[in-house]
Chain A
Amino acid sequence: MNDLAARLTRVLDLVDREARHLAEVTQRFFGGAEAIDREWLERQLATPEGIDRLESFGAKFSRLQDTLSDKLLPLFLRAAGELPGTAVENLNRAERLGIIRDTQEWLGARGLRNRLVHEYIDDLDALAASLDVARRFTTVLIEAAHAFRGYAAQRLGTPFRQTP
């Protein structure tokens, strides 16, 4: 395995771990809640555990988003024989390769993390709406982690492992 493939494998392993941790905290924080609204959020913020879960969700969400967009995607494109470009160009290429579903969603989600920090957001309706969107985008992130792993294993010769 050459150096690029070895680095890609390491980052794919990191993505697997981060995706698993995000899936776990998403389950702990949101559970099976159907409506993520102000009332639901007030219940979470009423306990130290709920506040910890909110912070943990925001941190793990941002971490996987960063690793996928800033670390894995440029490396992945290089391994696929392409020159990485701007964030928009890289996401457009990933969409063309069928790795991500919609570049616009990914670009729109980039500012989401700033809206998930409850110390800075005193509008609980707005925070609940952002959390609802982030929960939905979590599925998009984890699906992309699977897609990167599958594509790399089939076409770039990295080891296949089951992502969460």
Chain B
Amino acid sequence: MRLTDTQVRIIKARAAECFGSNAKIWLFGSRVDDKALGGDIDLYVELTEPLTDSAWRALRFNGALQQAFGAQHIDVITRGPSEPLKPIHETAKRSGVAL
């Protein structure tokens, strides 16, 4: 996985602010590959309780990370507790790394 400990700490802290402390986060995509270079930070966030405005919260979470990391390209996918598990969610969990 190509994230520093500081980046992981920031991601978890901002996720707790935006989605609550029980949200689970996975890093997936090219940043999981230690041999790759650069690339977007793709994050999958699973919410354990229903939240209003989850898409707006995801936007703020994304912006908070860009502010911390310097306009890095970040993609955030969220799934609420009542949403069905879609292929993209399964892929993110299967191929990703839980943070």
Contacts and interface: CB of A to CB of B under 8 A. Distances in A.
Interface in B45-76: 54-56, 58-64, 66-67, 70-71, 73-75
B59 to A, nearest CB: 4
A11 to B, nearest CB: 22
Contacts of B83: 125
Interface string B63-97: 11011001101110000000100101000000000
B56 A133 contact: yes
Contacts of A111: 62, 73-75
Interface of A: 86-88, 92, 102-112, 123, 125, 129-130, 132-133, 136-137
Interface of B: 54-56, 58-64, 66-67, 70-71, 73-75, 83, 86, 88
30 contacts: A86-B70, A87-B71, A88-B66, A88-B70, A88-B71, A92-B67, A103-B63, A104-B66, A104-B67, A106-B63, A107-B62, A107-B71, A108-B58, A108-B59, A108-B61, A108-B62, A108-B63, A108-B64, A108-B66, A109-B63, A110-B66, A111-B73, A111-B74, A111-B75, A123-B88, A129-B54, A132-B55, A133-B56, A133-B59, A137-B59
